[in-house]
Amino acid sequence: MLDASYVGRSLPTTEPVAVTAASVTRFAEALGLPDTGAIPPTYLISLTLPAADRLIDDPDFGLDWGRVLHREQRFAYHRELRAGDVLTVTVTIESIKTVAGNDLLSLRTAVDSQDGLAAEVWTTLFVAAATDDPAGDPQ
């Protein structure tokens, strides 16, 4: 089970990352999209997912990535992103709900530019409860 005392906590803000035309092209190509120069709507996942890695690395939080199923992702853009933007990312644990022994982890990630809040990303993860197999080993 996840440590519910983390609800409301924000992870340290990431170091600034420059959005480059090359990174946008690589992301678009990975999705099989044409390179139009426009930033794909889901591009921010390439910044927000690594920012949440600290939760995986924190043994006190209790997140076992092997038990995670991605449930939902939402993006809200407050302005269009452009190559050349320098962004920082701050992940906040919004809620942890336990349902039938499984956890639903909700994260809100603020993406800030030199001009202020550029976008927000909400992520919900389903974290399956640990079970024991007949041999008594954790699964």
| Structural domains of the chain ordered from first start | 4-127 (3.10.129.10)
Give the DSSP letter of residue 136. S
pLDDT of residue 90: 98
* CA distances, 99 to each of 27, 57, 82, 87, 104 (Å): 35, 24, 40, 35, 7
pLDDT of residue 136: 45
Which residues does 63 contact at the CB level (< 8 Å), separation at least 6?
2, 55, 56, 105, 127
The residue length of the chain stands at 139
pLDDT of residue 137: 52
Query: pLDDT tens string for the chain (139 positions)?
Result: 899 999 999 999 999 999 999 999 999 999 999 888 789 989 999 999 999 999 989 999 999 999 999 999 999 999 999 999 999 999 999 999 999 999 999 999 999 999 999 999 999 999 999 876 544 455 5
CA dist 48 and 69 (Å) reads 17
Cβ 118 vs Cβ 78: under 8 Å: yes
